[in-house]
């Protein structure tokens, strides 16, 4: 087995330098992962909100192994039952309206890309109700994250994601998150949709206010435009609901999924209410791998585990436990913690940038056995598997407290 050093040397020579890795991982089981150098880590990243049922859950492993040996891919030139069953399940747990349907692809960016295409086509076809159509512009939020394809990085309201990639596609406008007046000002006669994350993930784990969501829904209804939610990170049980929009009291017209949907087998999906469900017709949109039997089997098994192990409830309870643990850490370090935000097991610890660097805390925590993510706004993002145990929570928080002590004292 190679060491992290040897693997890093191969990366330096042969892999484009788009990330800044520090250690190589070789094995994962539940909430624990092992590094190439024999280190053991508590994983509060879940592969960035992907392993919601933990690494290598036996039910998912079995479903994937069986499907791989039976029919892993057959293209969308043919029906496959697993895709039909998964779509039925997603429609049931989303409970949008009668006539809701799904489209499957392979990543979060692709799911958002499909949702953008769906909204534009609806606008072009005169979906708004009147006559001539031609409504194409999508309003997104500042500080959002929607992916790295050209359309989705343009939808992303962060200059650092867009810099150097112009010319960018046209058809996007930006508003301030949690500011309904700003959204109103960004809407014009060619607007077709408003798109947002109910909890901004990369941006620093910033939840949308319920009041803002309700006002958005009313505004979209009034202007006859679409409300689109990006559930790529906050969806699939992470917040204690299947989808984060479910706790806001409003329903979107469509939402996108990816990350946790198939426990790390690449998959993205769009779930669209009846208004949009029949807008795509043969030839309008497609994906070679999208919804193949392997990914669908993984997704069905993942949803089955979340249901049979009551992981929505567990996410809410575990989230409360972590929030109160973080509260104690904040009390022990007056002035260091600016905010503890989030819902369920999507939690952000925002640190005062004038006093401590979140990136250094992430590094220090990793060196003593805890994996956490950095997010925007000098925040540490905590995303454990939904079946994280109480002991793992205690151990993880102890390590995080030690890491903060170390960096703050240095």
Q: Which residue has the tokens 């022990």?
A: 332
Which CB atom, from 87 or from 232, has the smaller least distance to ligand PLP?
232
The pair of three-digit structure tokens given for residue 129, joined into one six-digit string: 């109700």
Which residues sit at the interface with ligand PLP, rule CB under 6 A?
107-109, 112, 145-147, 197, 201-202, 230, 232-233, 258-259
The nearest distance, CB 259 to ligand PLP, in angstroms, is: 6
CB of 199 to ligand PLP, least distance (A): 9
- Select from 255, 260, 249, 253 the least CA-distant residue to 230: 255
Q: Output 67 or 106, the one with its CB closest to ligand PLP.
A: 106
Smallest separation (angstroms) from ligand PLP to the CB of 300: 20
Residue at token pair 């250690």: 23
Which residue number, 239 or 356, has a Cβ lying nearer to ligand PLP? Answer: 239
Query: Considering the complex, what minimum distance in angstroms separates the CB of residue 258 from ligand PLP?
Result: 5
3-state secondary structure the chain: CCCHHHHHHHHHHHCCCCCCCCCCEEEEEECEEEECCCCEEEECCHHHHCCCCCECCHHHHHHHHHHHHHCCCCCCCCCCHHHHHHHHHHHHHHCCCCCCEEEEECCHHHHHHHHHHHHHHHHHCCCCCCCCCCCCEEEEEECCCCCCCHHHHHHCECHHHHCCCCCCCCCEEEECCCCHHHHHHHCCCCEEEEEECCEECCCCCEECCHHHHHHHHHHHHHHCCEEEEECCCCCCCCCCCCCHHHHCCCCCCEEEECHHHHCCCCCEEEEECHHHHCCCCCCCCCCCCCCCHHHHHHHHHHHHHHHHCCHHHHHHHHHHHHHHHHHHHHHHCCCCEEEEEEECCEEEEEECCCCCCHHHHHHHHHHCCEECEEECCCEEEECCCCCCCHHHHHHHHHHHHHHHHHHHHC
Rounded Cα distance between 112 and 98, Å, is: 23
From the list 44, 103, 104, 145, the catalytic residue is 145
Query: Out of 103, 255, 259, 280, which one is annotated catalytic?
Result: 259
Closest contact distance (angstroms) between CB of 371 and ligand PLP is: 17
**259 carries an active-site annotation:** yes
Is 395 a catalytic site residue? no
Question: Minimum distance from CB of 6 to ligand PLP (Å)?
Answer: 27
* 78 counts as catalytic: no
Instruction: Supply the minimum distance, in Å, between the C-beta of residue 268 and ligand PLP.
Output: 6
Active-site residue (options: 43, 101, 230, 255):
230
Active-site residue set:
145, 230, 259
């Amino acid at each position: 087995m190679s060491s992290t050093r040897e693997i890093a040397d191969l990366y330096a020579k042969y892999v484009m330098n788009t990330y800044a890795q520090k250690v190589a991982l070789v094995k994962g089981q539940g909430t624990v992962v092992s590094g190439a150098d024999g280190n053991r880590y508590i994983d509060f990243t879940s592969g960035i909100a992907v392993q919601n049922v933990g690494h290598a859950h036996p039910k998912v492993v079995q479903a994937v192994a069986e499907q791989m040996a039976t029919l892993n891919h057959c293209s969308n030139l043919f029906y496959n039952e697993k895709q039909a069953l998964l779509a039925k399940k997603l429609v049931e747990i989303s409970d949008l309206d009668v006539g809701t349907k799904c489209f499957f692809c392979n990543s979060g960016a692709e799911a958002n890309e499909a949702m953008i295409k769906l909204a534009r086509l609806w606008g072009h076809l005169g979906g708004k109700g009147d006559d001539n159509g031609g409504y194409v512009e999508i309003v997104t939020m500042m500080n959002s994250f929607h992916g790295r394809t050209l359309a989705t990085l343009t939808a992303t309201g962060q200059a650092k994601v867009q810099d150097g990639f112009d010319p960018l596609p046209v058809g996007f406008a930006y508003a301030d998150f949690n500011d309904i007046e700003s959204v109103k000002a960004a809407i014009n006669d060619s607007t077709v949709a408003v798109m947002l994350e109910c909890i901004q993930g990369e941006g620093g784990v910033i939840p949308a206010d319920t009041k803002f969501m309700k006002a958005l829904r009313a505004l979209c209804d009034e202007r006859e435009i679409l409300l689109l939610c990006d559930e790529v990170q906050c969806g699939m049980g992470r917040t204690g609901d299947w989808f984060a929009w479910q706790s806001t009291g409003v329903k979107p017209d469509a939402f996108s999924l990816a990350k946790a949907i198939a426990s790390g087998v690449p998959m993205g999906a769009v779930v669209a209410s009846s208004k949009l469900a029949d807008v795509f017709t043969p030839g309008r949109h497609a994906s070679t791998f999208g919804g193949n039997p392997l990914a669908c089997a993984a997704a069905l098994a993942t949803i089955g585990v979340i249901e049979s192990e009551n992981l929505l409830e567990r996410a809410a309870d575990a989230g409360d436990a972590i929030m109160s643990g973080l509260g104690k850490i904040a009390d022990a370090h007056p002035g260091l913690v600016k905010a503890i935000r989030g819902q369920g097991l999507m939690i952000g610890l925002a640190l005062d940038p004038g006093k401590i660097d979140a990136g250094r805390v992430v590094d220090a925590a990793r060196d003593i056995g805890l994996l956490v993510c950095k997010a925007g706004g000098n925040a540490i993002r905590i995303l454990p598997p939904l079946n994280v145990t109480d002991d793992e929570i205690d151990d993880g928080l102890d390590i995080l407290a030690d890491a903060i002590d170390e960096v703050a004292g240095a």
